[in-house]
Amino acid sequence: MTQFEKRLNIKTLKFSFTSYEMLLFLFYYSAFFLLALKKPSPEAFLWVLGFPLLLAICNMLFRQALHFDPVLISAVNFLSGLGILMISRFDLRLGTGQLFNYISGMILLFLMSHFVKIFRGLKRWSFMLGLLSLGLMALPILFGREINGAKAWINVLGIGFQPSEIVKIFYVIILASLLSEKRYFIAAFFLSLVLGLLLLQKDLGTALIYYAVTVIVLFATSGSVRLLIGAGLGLLVGSYGGYTLFKHVKKRFRIWIDPWADRDGAGYQIVQTLIAIANGGLWGTGLGLGNANVIPEHQTDFIFAVILNEFGVIFGVFVIFLYLIFLFRVLFIVQNAERKFIALLPLAAGSLIAIQAFVIIGGNIKLIPLTGVTLPFVSYGGSSMLSSMGLLGIIQGGLFIQQANLNHDISLYEMGENL
Amino acid sequence: MKMITRNARLIIACLSVMLLSLIFFGAFTWISFGNRWFSSSANTYIKKIQKNIIPGDIYDRNSNLLAHSNKQGVRIYHSDLETRQSMVHALGDSKAYVPYGAESFMSNYLYGMKDSYFDRLSAAFKGLGRKGNDIRLSLDSNLSKYIHTLFPKNQSGAVIVMNYQTGEILALQSYPDFDPENITQSNLMDPMKPFWNRATKWVSAPGSTFKLITYASALQNLQDTKSLRFECSGCLSLGDSNISDAKKAVHGNISLFDALKVSCNISFAQLALRLGDQALHNTAIKFGIGDYYLFSDLVVENSRYPSQNRTPKEIARTGIGQSSLLISPINMCMVASSIANEGVMMEPKLLLQARDSFGHSKFEFEPKVYKQSLSVDDAKFLSNAMKAVVETGTGTAAKVSGLEICGKTGSSEISGQKETNSWFVGFINQEEIPYALCVVVEDSGSGGTVAAPIAGSIFRYLNSHLKQ
């Protein structure tokens, strides 16, 4: 039996549904059932029968056959399912679209989880990958349309595509690779190129995230406090620059301080979000009973507000905890990593997801000014889903390597025993 | 590698703290402001549930019906026009032209949002239409109507009557007002803004009533306050302008106690200068000026102590209640209440009770201490000084035989106005009639001539009708 066959458990395929699958199934079955009661239609009942089953089977397959970490994959599936649920609740067609995004995402997840093992180091690849990233980022500036103050989208064969999302995966790999070889200045130079392109796109939220991830990995390798201070100052200077140079930054800042002053105009989005949170209260209005669709962008940037509205504050806390799970898995990888690259890469990927979740949830609840980024796994969008899945694949890849090392150590030990 | 692990641990700890801070910030803002967001007129969800839920009834403290929804879903208010008008700012109207009236601010009770799921299910099974909770407010409709008959027609201003032991509000009125059952185009176009609640949302210089705070500051900061004397020559020169007294009075050598009685500006201006801006400001803070009010039953505009241009002239003018002091009538009523209540300022409350359609109580009133403004001794001393004001001083028009009334008049100058704003704050210093009030009539004359007589009539009514 080859390694591959062993991995897929071909000889002894056991399908066992554990509590993870039960929970996923029950939750999404009840949810879609309620939605179908509210708006009965043949499609709605197809979803009731099909979707929870799809989710549970997917979870089981990835967990058992592909040996993914059970907690990690269940969290991802729950979040993705939540996104599909909240999107379908208002528009079933968009929900179907997000379902396809999810499926493509799962495929990418599988691919990326094995990529990390095969990856032996950039060297030949680095320059090409870097050029590819920069080229992709330049496309929206040249060919893109301006939406919400940012020129971050291009149209490929009728499908909207956001290069800065996909480039996140490349960037994280390049960054980890460069810094594991202590090539700080090239990394900083690459960051500035990427940031420059993002600024030209006027996608300041994503720029912030790239900046934060780079600072994090730089700190991980250098441990220098001066770096942190410098980075903090850089952030202040950047924020000030953004404020003075960009009109829409001024506007975002103004409505962050007091959205009620312009509650029907610029502040409408935040005001309606706060009202939606108040309407939901601790336990939510109930699925299908809220009216969070008055919030513009409720399928993308403000999906968390919809969740708080219909499921309540307590459920929102639970969702935030799911993002914490990814961080703790990353910690496990880093603590047991043997190569620097294997420690840095998942760290970068996990940090990126956590920072992105923080930035957008923070913007939703008015902790920080609003930025145009999405909630990983939950928000509607193909590029967003693919990038989040890719990053998660990197984390799972790191876990595979830990498992392989562990197995190797065990077999060495067993060999030693036999001698 | 070890270094990377250590740094990574630090990083992940920081990121976790950041994510957890979302929870704390979210919970904190939701708990503090959630009701305000919910009651905002921008909330379209209420309109959605209004279709399914009949809002509950509103009663006054004596169980008189103040608001009710009829079978067609139209909101009906008190049957008497003058009573309706006198309570419209406290109650609000069904279209929320008055923002944050009880109709809006307590809508989470009125629409049954606090009902348990069990109750909702039983109502659904019994086929009963859903009705929200009935609420009982601390307001007294008879008192409100009576006050309405006293207030000068075609004048603007506010009246608040509070129980200083418990914080319950018996009357909360703003003038001009309107009829909530008949909102006309002229109401909407009226430049006097009848929908605006002047009692809670209008802030201005309170004139000599602020001398109570200046006096309190002296009691708290100076050694010899009780025997302090000043020289009043009729005119105090400060830089490019002068301070003088009403009717160009000259008081000569006068004790601080008497200076409050006759409301001598020159004495209090000198006192303010002696105290200094810092001390005066700190005392003002003790009386709630500068606080960000987050009362459970009311939305009150924050009062502000002047922060710029603190020249001797401005400090002196602050001491006599002018300068750029911005204080609401309800804040001044709370000041009087704290002096009456041995220095303890109670939080103003409106809601006494909420009951669901099964008779279960959803809310029962409990008095809440807002802050300790003065020591018991200082409060007693100040009460005595205020008693002298009413017995023989500027506030004799508020005197009622047989009652111990304490008060302070105020006549604040407002640029652009012909007459001063007339203020009176005061209380009945008797345990069985524990009420404090504030009466303001804009652009009308001195505190002693316009506001004080109104206060006197209110005290007389409280004595005969609301003795405990």
* H or E segment to which residue A383 belongs: helix A382-418
A318 touches B at CB < 8 Å: no
Kindly indicate the confidence band of residue A6, based on its pLDDT and cuts at 50, 70 and 90: low
A residues 292..311 contacting B (CB < 8 A): 294
Q: Please write the tens of the pLDDT for every residue from B360-415.
A: 899 999 999 999 999 999 999 999 999 999 999 999 999 999 999 999 999 999 98
CB B434 within 8 A of CB B340: yes
| Cβ burial, residue A23 (10 Å; 0-12/13-18/19+) | middle
Residue A279 with chain B: CB contacts under 8 Å = 38, 43, 45
Tell me, letter by letter, the H, E, C secondary structure of A246-310. CHHHHHHHHHHHCHHHHCCCCCHHHHHHHHHHHHHCCCCCCCCCCCHHHCCCCCCCCHHHHHHHH
Amino acid at A249: V
- Tokens matching residue A187: 């990394």
**Average pLDDT estimate for A373-399:** 93
DSSP3 helix / strand / coil % (chain B, rounded to 5): 45, 20, 35
Q: Mean pLDDT for chain A?
A: 87
3-state secondary structure at position A317: helix
Please name the residues in contact with A371: beta carbons below 8 A apart, sequence gap of 6 or more. Answer: A204, A205, A208, A252, A359, A360, A363
Mutate to test the interface with B, among A264, A275, A308, A344 (most CBs of B within 10 A): A275
Kindly indicate the confidence band of residue A155, based on its pLDDT and cuts at 50, 70 and 90: confident
Q: Please write the tens of the pLDDT for every residue from A86-105.
A: 999 999 999 999 999 999 99
**Average pLDDT estimate for B73-88:** 93
What's the rounded Cα separation, in Å, for the pair B412 and A341? 74
What pLDDT does residue A121 have? 53
Residues paired with residue A386 on neighbouring β-strands, in sequence order: none
Nearest Cα of chain A lies from the Cα of B424 at a distance, in angstroms, of: 34
**This prediction's pTM:** 0.86
**Average pLDDT estimate for A381-402:** 92
Q: With CB atoms and an 8 Å threshold, state whether A219 touches B11.
A: yes
A358 touches B at CB < 8 Å: yes
**Average pLDDT estimate for B149-168:** 96
Residue B8 with chain A: CB contacts under 8 Å = 220, 330-331, 334-335, 343, 347
The rounded percent of chain B whose pLDDT value lies above 70 is 100
On the question of a cis peptide bond just before residue B176, with omega within 30 degrees of 0, the verdict is: yes
Nearest Cα of chain B lies from the Cα of A365 at a distance, in angstroms, of: 6
Q: Please write the tens of the pLDDT for every residue from B409-444.
A: 999 999 899 999 999 999 999 999 999 999 999 999
Closest CA to A315 of A283, A278, A354, A280: A283
What pLDDT does residue A149 have? 64
What pLDDT does residue B367 have? 96
For A385, phi then psi, to 5°, come to -65, -45
Residue A323 with chain B: CB contacts under 8 Å = 19
What's the rounded Cα separation, in Å, for the pair B203 and B197? 11
- Tokens matching residue B223: 């050694």
A residues 186..245 contacting B (CB < 8 A): 216, 219-221, 223
Q: Please write the tens of the pLDDT for every residue from A76-88.
A: 999 999 999 999 9
Nearest Cα of chain A lies from the Cα of B357 at a distance, in angstroms, of: 21
Question: Of the candidates B5, B12, B42, which has its C-beta nearest A327's C-beta?
Answer: B12
What pLDDT does residue A418 have? 66
**Average pLDDT estimate for B167-182:** 95
The rounded percent of chain B whose pLDDT value lies above 90 is 76
What's the rounded Cα separation, in Å, for the pair B185 and B188? 5
DSSP B168: B
Residue A10 has pLDDT above 50, yes or no: no
What pLDDT does residue A11 have? 44
A residues 326..345 contacting B (CB < 8 A): 327-328, 330-331, 334-335, 337-338, 340, 343-344
Nearest C-alpha in A relative to B107: A279
Nearest C-alpha in A relative to B114: A281
What's the rounded Cα separation, in Å, for the pair B345 and B284? 13
What's the rounded Cα separation, in Å, for the pair B406 and B164? 13
The rounded percent of chain A whose pLDDT value lies above 70 is 93
* H or E segment to which residue B422 belongs: strand B421-428
Q: With CB atoms and an 8 Å threshold, state whether B4 touches A343.
A: yes
What's the rounded Cα separation, in Å, for the pair A290 and A344? 43
CB count in 10 Å sphere of residue B356: 21
Question: Of the candidates A216, A223, A271, which has its C-beta nearest B42's C-beta?
Answer: A271
What pLDDT does residue A249 have? 87
Question: Of the candidates A275, A358, A367, which has its C-beta nearest B42's C-beta?
Answer: A275
Kindly indicate the confidence band of residue A157, based on its pLDDT and cuts at 50, 70 and 90: confident
Nearest Cα of chain B lies from the Cα of A308 at a distance, in angstroms, of: 11
**Average pLDDT estimate for A237-258:** 88
B42 touches A at CB < 8 Å: yes
User: Contacts from A360-363 at CB under 8 Å and sequence distance 24+?
Assistant: A360/A301, A360/A304, A361/A304, A361/A320, A361/B22, A362/B22, A362/B25, A363/A301
Kindly indicate the confidence band of residue A15, based on its pLDDT and cuts at 50, 70 and 90: low
Q: Please write the tens of the pLDDT for every residue from B107-117.
A: 889 988 877 77
DSSP A65: I
**Average pLDDT estimate for A386-394:** 94
The rounded percent of chain A whose pLDDT value lies above 90 is 50
Residue B189 has pLDDT above 80, yes or no: yes
H-type helices in B173-264, by residue range?
185-189, 198-201, 211-221, 256-262
Closest CA to A344 of A356, A336, A334: A334
Q: Please write the tens of the pLDDT for every residue from B30-70.
A: 999 999 999 888 899 988 887 788 899 999 999 999 999 98
Q: With CB atoms and an 8 Å threshold, state whether A276 touches B45.
A: yes
A352 touches B at CB < 8 Å: no
What's the rounded Cα separation, in Å, for the pair B333 and A273? 36
Q: Mean pLDDT for chain B?
A: 92
A271 touches B at CB < 8 Å: yes
Nearest C-alpha in A relative to B48: A291
**Average pLDDT estimate for B216-224:** 93
Closest CA to A137 of A180, A99, A171, A100: A171
Residue A338 with chain B: CB contacts under 8 Å = 1
Mutate to test the interface with A, among B2, B19, B118 (most CBs of A within 10 A): B19
3-state secondary structure at position A232: helix
Helices A340-364 and A382-418: angle between axes, nearest 10 degrees: 150
Kindly indicate the confidence band of residue A3, based on its pLDDT and cuts at 50, 70 and 90: low
H-type helices in B297-375, by residue range?
312-319, 329-340
Residue A223 with chain B: CB contacts under 8 Å = 3, 6-7
